[in-house]
Chain A
């Protein structure tokens, strides 16, 4: 009985792994050959729907700094915050209190991975985050996704990427790597880089461009 059970469990695990592998391969293949929109998505009068993913702590602080000076074209700002993260909510409300143009909304999603959570249990919470971020992205249909890690941003980027890949909606995805990353991309940055999900990854140290040729360095931000 136990051997049967464990054999069954093994089959399920292998099946799921093979399925995931196949999906990833298909996506990689599709991303190479699909006509993902390489053109700019807007003109100077456009009002853009922007999805801004606020990671937590330092990530949120850096993100708020970046979006604080965006112009009036970025009129519809939709912030995404992990549901346990009151700090980020406060930061967003503080920023938006100073803005008079356009409007903003906040959505909460489960966190992909708490600090010090094991990788196994984080697999489960990641699944939860993937599922719960689908309706958000489907209803939002953003023109632009801005994120800078950590894991919370991956499910969001993933769905936004699929919208774009299957030509539902043209979406630009931009990942901004932290200034802390001098030699290597962060875990989120690496995952997104190798899956080729963002349209652009910006880094803040020039030596990263040698190691990761598809990232861009436009100076310290």
Chain B
């Protein structure tokens, strides 16, 4: 059962949740063969209507938070997330088709800096709630560049040399 997973992290992002259950996005999901939409809505005040199977052919369910969303990321065939750094980096580890939706009402956009760069490097697609449907339909979503996680070993050997406990 192909699954799309939407996550907003510990914040609220009603505009994303509303967009995700809009007819246009449900149709776009269906066109990718997805028949289950699971939403993690955080503190949002908008609760999507849960349905077993509506006209669009996509089952919708949601929860607010979980200690770890890793299992849902693993099960997902498409991930749609907010631009939070934690969400971006955790999702990239699973190498899934990944759309990041920016919250235009937030002015503290240093969070976008990372998402923008990751989009420029081809690791994810980047959009606003208004153009989520067309972004899901884009072919590049299936040709993203896999992300190589950071290497702590680099830091350890650099520091060893820097303080002098290991010679160069």
Contacts and interface: CB of A to CB of B under 8 A. Distances in A.
A68 B156 CA distance: 10
Nearest to A205: B117
Interface residues of B, number: 28
B166 A44 contact: yes
Contacts of A40: 161-164
Given A181-B113, A182-B114, A172 B162 contact: yes
Interface residues of A, number: 38
A41 interface: yes
Given A69-B153, A218-B155, A182 B117 contact: yes
Nearest to B154: A219
B116 interface: yes
A213 interface: no
Contacts of A205: 117
A202 B149 CA distance: 17
B150 interface: yes
Given A58-B85, A180-B113, A70 B164 contact: no
A47 B150 CA distance: 27
Among all A-B residue pairs, the 6 with the closest Cβ atoms: A40-B164, A220-B150, A73-B165, A180-B85, A182-B117, A182-B113
Given A179-B114, A182-B114, 11 more contacts: A40-B162, A42-B164, A43-B165, A44-B165, A58-B86, A143-B163, A172-B163, A182-B113, A204-B150, A218-B158, A220-B150
Interface of A: 39-44, 46, 48, 58, 65-66, 68-71, 73, 143-144, 172, 174, 176, 178-184, 186, 199-200, 202, 204-205, 218-221
